[in-house]
Structure 1
Amino acid sequence: MNIKIFDKMNKVPGGLIIIPLLAAILINTFAPQILTIGGPTTALFKVGSSAMMGIFLLVCGTSINIRQAGLPLYKGAVLLLLKCIAGALAVWVAGSLFGPPGFLGISMLALVACLTSSNSSLYIALCSTYGDASDAGAISVFCIKDGPFVTMVVLGVSGLANIPFAALLSMLIPLLIGMLWGNCDERFKQLCTSAQPLIIIIMSFAIGANSSIGTVFSAGLSGILLGVISAVTGIIFYFLYNLFLRNKTALGAALGTTAASSALTPAMVAQADPSLAIYVDAATAQLATASIITMLTAPVLIAWFDKRLRARAPVTQMAPSADVKK
């Protein structure tokens, strides 16, 4: 009998993260003793998020192509810079006004994790319709924002979190190992690509196993608000990204998304700065909600911007071979 559970999870937006996360939350709420039995079960499903994050960062590193050059490198660098600036501005404005607790139930931890992430899978999918090879190739640099590293840097530099240098280095080492190994060994890169879904599922479950269903419900409305904020930034990113390009593209609006994997970031950041632990449960639920909302809004927004560009520009300007603005 083959009931294809994995395929069904994949059909749900962000399903590989959200479904294990919710399953673990339900188990931890109604039958927590199952997860505290000890041995490999507890080590893997209750307290295994740190080890899984290390493997996840190594896997992400294998997708960084250090041989990538020219326009893809340029575009990826610009996209990454824009996300870093967005996080820094959020800290500067909202952080100075409200501090770590944030506003309307959205902590600075949740806000920065949201604004420094974006949905890489959705971006790649949209490239096939609204971009070209250089847009798709940009992900080899842009994917550096996957995981908690950029969030930790922004929060640490701002002073809103006490992030030791050793904690930042601990995030970089698996990423660098994966990058070097993946660029030297194509077979290893393929292995990591195949293993990534399993790692995400286990890591999501381990994080959910430390939360409760009450937190999820209490974070519902603020999670929707966070998703709306993220979606609105897509409009700003659209205009900013096109300032750096000769031939305009609608794909800048794809930055107005929240990665489903960003729901895993708060727990990782709180390990570096335990003072943020009080915000982890709510931030995790909020980011999971925001990721679903932006999965729905981003394609609509990009399609509208693309239609607007094509109506206003000559056909030659919208050709796939976009160049850097000089």
Structure 2
Amino acid sequence: MANMNIFEKMNKVPGGLIIIPLLAAILINTFAPSILTIGGPTTALFKTGSSAMMGIFLLICGSSINIKQAGLPLYKGGVLLLMKVVAGAIVVYGVGSLLGPAGFIGISMLALVACITSSNSSLYIALCSNYGDSSDAGAISVFCIKDGPFVTMVVLGVSGLANIPFAALLSMIIPLLIGIIWGNVDEKFKQLCASAQPLVIIIMSFAIGANSSINTVFTAGLSGIVLGLISASTGLVFYFIYNFFLKQKTALGAALGTTAASSALTPAMVAQADPSLAMYVQSATAQLATASIITMLTAPILVAYFDKKIKSRNEKLALSTN
């Protein structure tokens, strides 16, 4: 049988490993939902398996964190992570305190906080190859802590906007810690996790999409575009703030103005901790998926623009000192 290279083709689509399974599951659940409720391993894996997959995903994320990383990469990663956490807190206390969980124009606070506290790590790494150095790439070992629902849950829980029990936060930390410890003492395990991550993301995305419908996607279309534009605009702010903490200026702060494709998986996880947010899960999932696509297009343009400005400024300074 001819090799169809389905995985390779999915991987070429921006965010394809999440968006394609998510949309496929939404279509199946809309037009042939009985297929996913047949019971047994099929239902457990493809309909109700998102919690188990999230546990494995957190384990994998933890395994990629290098606790031996020191110096500038550690500093940069810490600053990037702190900016995301603070941005989420500002959104919660500024917008959330005024509008409540429902948010505005159909964008719930669950969707907004999940959007602001996330960013596209894969795109950041790709941009590092053109606009950064090894210290920028190394920063991801700390910065990747914001992958998954943990930071979103902390920000929502501390603010009081969501009732997140401590046990729910602990349940997120445990697999993350196991991954950190095991990944730092066993290189083979770290490699195993890296190779397994795409499969886990595909299954988890499908399981979350299997609890939504195509009607939700169409309803969330415009608000998802607005959410994407909000996320993209934060890149301007992050660019200036990040450079405030650095001696050698970089355009990569603007790369934080992205929404991770994996953030589409966050609302379902948060709602398990606080069921009162369950009403926002379907729309938030669709909005975040849309926002991730938009910011994949805007971030490289923004980073390239600021990189050109920095190089131009450096050239002028070099000429003036000669």
Tell me whether the two structures share a fold, i.e. TM-score over 0.5.
yes
Moved over 6 A (4+): none
2:243 corresponds to? 242
Output the CA distance in 1 between the equivalents of 2:316 and 2:295: 29
Gaps of 5+ in 2: none
**How far apart in 2 are the matches of 1:45 and 1:316?**
58
Query: Which digits, 9 at most, give the CA deviation of each residue in 1:151-172, with x for residues without a partner?
Result: 0000001111000000000000
Hey, what does 1:216 align to over in structure 2?
217
Residues 1:171 and 2:167 aligned together: no
Q: Which amino acid aligns with 2:100?
A: G
State the SS of the aligned residue for 1:196: helix
TM-score, normalisation: structure 2: 0.97
1:297 equivalent in alignment to 2:298? yes
Instruction: State yes or no: 1:66 paired with 2:67.
Output: yes
Quote the residue 1:184 is aligned against: 185
Shift of 1:97: 1.3
Query: 1:314: Cα distance to partner?
Result: 4.2
Question: What is the CA deviation profile of residues 262-298 of structure 1, one whole-angstrom value per residue up to 9, with x for unaligned ones?
Answer: 0000000000000000000000000000000000000
What is the SS of the residue equivalent to 1:147?
A: coil
Q: 1:127 to 1:315 in 2, by over 3 A?
A: farther
TM-fit CA distance, 1:315? 8.6
Specify the code of the residue in structure 2 equivalent to 1:140: S
Residue equivalent to 2:153:
152
Tell which deviates more after alignment, 214-223 or 308-317: 308-317
CA shift at 1:178, angstroms? Answer: 0.4
Q: Does 1:22 find its partner at 2:43?
A: no
1:233 aligns with 2:212: no
Structure 1: where are the runs of 5+ without partners?
A: 318-326
Determine the structure 1 residue equivalent to 2:280.
Answer: 279
The alignment yields a C-alpha RMSD, in angstroms, of 1.0
Per the TM alignment, residue 313 of structure 1 is displaced from its structure 2 partner at its CA by 1.7
> 1:11: how far off?
1.1
Task: Please list the CA deviations of residues 211-242 of structure 1 after superposition, one character each: whole Å capped at 9, or x if unmatched.
Answer: 01000000000000000000000000000000
Task: Tell me which residue corresponds to 2:56.
Answer: 55
Supply the AA of the counterpart residue of 2:227.
L
Q: Output the TM-score relative to the length of structure 1.
A: 0.96
Q: Please report how far the alpha carbon of residue 20 of structure 1 lies from its aligned counterpart in structure 2 after TM superposition.
A: 0.3
Partner of 1:108: 109
User: Hey, what does 2:312 align to over in structure 1?
Assistant: 311
CA deviations on 1:11-64 (whole Å, 9 max, x unpaired) are 111000000000000111111100000000000000000000000000000110
